[in-house]
Structure 1
């Protein structure tokens, strides 16, 4: 695929019969740029539209979204570290110039986690979202670097994989799992 905003009929036909999706497409703090909104928000919502395009009526679809543990839904909460990045996954700041990127009105509308939750609320019989808020994702094998990084909220990649697959197959009781809950859920 060349464009994650536009899915051909042949691609949406390939999705027919799918009951779930694990979505991990996004940006990392070091890669935030003018394309971040498009990648994090627009691609996600266009992907949902494509996944549901040929869906059988009345059949529920489960969307598992891998988010960051630091993503903040409450836009009034004071954030001391990476404030702008932590808000992109939910709602961008209202300043007219964000990290040197001029913002237009479409850039400040409701964003990824809030949009997913809103979409699920509007389509309770056909769409369910499971948001996994990950800490640092570490390799499966232990090494000195990961031992140091493991001092921060973190989870091993194999645990993330098991948790995401389990959420896709079985769903989760709460709409959102925190990093510590992911460790238990994916154990």
Structure 2
């Protein structure tokens, strides 16, 4: 299968790319970013770096016909482009919304217009605190959380109107990294205070790849779902 990974220079996307090059089911990896992507370091034995295709866009809200040709025939996309909650206060909200919502929908539309394989699976990486019910007022960054939840709604609505296209939101809590002690401590504190389980970037990438390759188990994929599926995959 041909897999598109957006935001390919990001923390999570780089791990998704690294693992995808080792999966035999994935024959081609389109790494979409605003600058060229290099072969990841520490590839597993048997990984095939020749599967990686770096595709550069000026921005994620505009796609040339040349770029759309690179999408053609894809079977899935893992969309990671976003401004995180911790960084959202550094930007004007309209810019945050453009990156998180406008670019997501533009990318999804461009991919579907390119002539994808069916079924096509679009996995949108969102977050644990997002709120789809626009009548509610979340406690945590309400404007941001509602906007991200609204983006989930719009992604699902777009998919529902397209034949052979499936969409799902992955909603991880705090994402940890191997060897980063401070992140592990922060994850523990968040779980104790907010009750939201964390997940390592390695496990998150593994789960997301499993879901686009084998089909979405459910929608959305909550932090608890992601942890459960990761545990199952790691024990198999």
TM class by shorter chain equals: 0.7 to 0.9
Can you give the 5+ residue segments of structure 1 that lack an aligned partner in the other structure? Answer: 91-110
CA contact (8 A) 2:138 2:146 kept: no
Q: Given the alignment, which residue of 130, 137, 147 partners 1:88? A: 147
Can you give the 5+ residue segments of structure 2 that lack an aligned partner in the other structure? Answer: 1-56, 232-236
CA offsets, 1:8-48, max 9 Å, x none?
A: 11111011111001001011224332311110111111101
Q: How does 1:18-97 map to 2 (within 5 A)?
A: 18-32=74-88, 33=92, 34-55=94-115, 59-90=118-149
Aligned residues: 165
Match of 1:130 in 2: 168
**Against the structure 1 CA distance between its residues 78 and 131, is the aligned structure 2 distance closer, same or farther, given a 3 Å change threshold?**
same
TM-score by length of 1: 0.81
Q: Given the alignment, which residue of 172, 178, 200 partners 1:140? A: 178
For residue 119 of structure 1, report the CA deviation from its aligned partner: 1.4
Match of 1:94 in 2: none
For residue 144 of structure 1, report the CA deviation from its aligned partner: 5.0
**Against the structure 1 CA distance between its residues 173 and 149, is the aligned structure 2 distance closer, same or farther, given a 3 Å change threshold?**
closer
For residue 54 of structure 1, report the CA deviation from its aligned partner: 2.4
CA contact (8 A) 1:161 1:186 kept: no
Counterpart secondary structure, 1:22 = strand
Which aligned runs of 4 or more in structure 1 are off by greater than 3 angstroms? none
CA contact (8 A) 2:73 2:115 kept: yes
Match of 2:53 in 1: none
For residue 74 of structure 1, report the CA deviation from its aligned partner: 1.1
TM-score by length of 2: 0.65
Q: Distance in 1 between matches of 2:220 and 2:181?
A: 30
Q: Given the alignment, which residue of 156, 179, 183 partners 1:117? A: 156
Counterpart secondary structure, 2:100 = helix
Match of 1:95 in 2: none
CA contact (8 A) 2:176 2:183 kept: no
**Against the structure 1 CA distance between its residues 145 and 173, is the aligned structure 2 distance closer, same or farther, given a 3 Å change threshold?**
closer
Q: Report 1 or 2 for greater relative contact order, CA contacts < 8 Å, sequence distance ≥ 6.
A: 1
Q: Distance in 1 between matches of 2:61 and 2:84?
A: 20
